[in-house]
Structures are given as structure tokens and as C-alpha cells.
Amino acid sequence: MQPLKYLAGYPPHLQARVHELIAQGRLGAVLADKYRDDHAVRNDGQLYAYVQELKDRHLRKAVPLGKVLYDGKLQVMKHALGTHTAISRMHGGKLKASREIRIASVFRDAPAAFLRMIVVHELAHLKEAEHNKAFYQLCTHMEPDYHQLEFDLRLYLTQLEVQSLASPGRAATNPG
Ligand SMILES: [Zn+2]
């Protein structure tokens, strides 16, 4: 059985189940059926507004947002699921934290729920640098379904990879 890189750390019986869905060619359909809603967050300006709106709703007191952008070079798994850069700058002698949020561009074409999940993940990092208990509590506070969405996102990324291996050269953007 080939290891599933997006699902490393999950129990073997779950991974076996996913292998089964892949072998049956059903993983894409299962996901497309469960996640039918697209989103309209197409560019960096819209992404900024989207992130700001979620932040205002849940994390009003956290440090102000810095840059927010889609990044085509970002590897989703490089830093768990996104990157979060803490940049501290000196402003008139006072240390001011500003945060840049980069979202891998694969999320531009992903279902709406996965964009929300990854933004929630990055917003939680405004308050917690580590993936610890407090971090995941923040995530589930903003998105009660967070853990299920993170798991399903890993399935989605697995499916994109399966698809691109099946038809090399064609960009895989849709699990359908
Ligand atoms: Zn993280």
C-alpha cells in the first residue's frame, strides 16, 4: 500500500478506506457530492475582505491583518496546511506585530468550505503560533466542523494528486 502523504498520522484503517475509494475511482465523486458550494473569492482583494470579515466576527482583538494573498508557489503541506509569517517591525520605538497571511492558490478553485477552513486555520495563528490545544480550540470556535473539514481537505488534496497523476500535464483543479 502506498503511503498517503496528506493523511500521514491518521489511523491505518482510515488510510485503507481511502485507498479503497481511490481504487474504486470514487473519491472525487464522494467529495464533489459532499462539497457542492463554490466560493467567489477570486483575487487578493476579495481574499483580504473575506479574511477581514471572519476576523471581525471572531477575533476582533487580535493583531491587525497585514498582507493577505493567494500564493501559487505555496506548498499546502509545507507548514502543516498554510504559512503564517510573523513579521515584527519597529514603529516609533514600539514593537508592532503585523501578520501576513498567504493562502495556497489551490484554494481559489476549492469548495467554499475548504477556503473557510484554511482561513480559520491562519486566523487562529494570529493568537497561537503552535498547533496546540488552544490553537485547535480557536479553530473550532470559529468553525465548529473544523476537524472534519481538515480531514476532508486532506482527502481533496489526495484526490487532486491522484487526478494529476492520471492525466499528467493537465492542471487538476476540480475533484469531479
Ligand atoms: Zn498552521
Residue 172 has pLDDT above 70, yes or no: no
How much distance in Å is there from the Cα of 118 to the middle of ligand 1? 9
How much distance in Å is there from the Cα of 21 to the middle of ligand 1? 28
pLDDT in tens, 58-95: 999 888 899 999 988 877 765 445 445 544 444 444 44
Q: Give the C-alpha separation, 156 to 151, whole Å.
A: 9
163 located within any domain: no
Q: Give the C-alpha separation, 163 to 94, whole Å.
A: 50
How much distance in Å is there from the Cα of 23 to the middle of ligand 1? 31
Q: Where are the alpha helices (DSSP H) in the chain?
A: 12-23, 27-34, 44-58, 112-124, 133-142, 146-166
User: How many structural domains compose the chain?
Assistant: 1
Residue 43 has pLDDT above 60, yes or no: yes
Q: Dig out the grid coordinates for 96 from the structure.
A: 508592532
How much distance in Å is there from the Cα of 42 to the middle of ligand 1? 23
- pLDDT for 97 equals 55
How much distance in Å is there from the Cα of 79 to the middle of ligand 1? 6
4-13, 35-44, 88-97: range with lowest mean pLDDT? 88-97
Strand order in the sheet with 83-91: 65-71, 94-104, 83-91
23 located within any domain: no
- pLDDT for 153 equals 93
Which residues have CB under 8 Å from 97's CB, separation 6+? Answer: 63, 86, 87, 88
Give the chain's mean pLDDT.
84
| Structural domain that includes position 54 | 39-150
172 located within any domain: no
166 located within any domain: no
- pLDDT for 57 equals 96
Average pLDDT rounded to a whole number, residues 171-175: 48
pLDDT in tens, 139-168: 999 999 999 999 999 999 999 989 888 877
60 located within any domain: yes
Average pLDDT rounded to a whole number, residues 107-135: 92
Q: Give the C-alpha separation, 108 to 115, whole Å.
A: 8
CB atoms inside a 10 Å sphere around CB 84: 19
88 located within any domain: yes
68 located within any domain: yes
| Domain CATH for 78 | 3.30.2010.10
Q: Report percent pLDDT > 70 for the chain.
A: 82
Average pLDDT rounded to a whole number, residues 113-139: 91
The Cβ-side half-sphere exposure at 55, using a 13 Å CA radius, reads 23
How much distance in Å is there from the Cα of 24 to the middle of ligand 1? 32
- pLDDT for 170 equals 55
Which residues have CB under 8 Å from 141's CB, separation 6+? Answer: 58
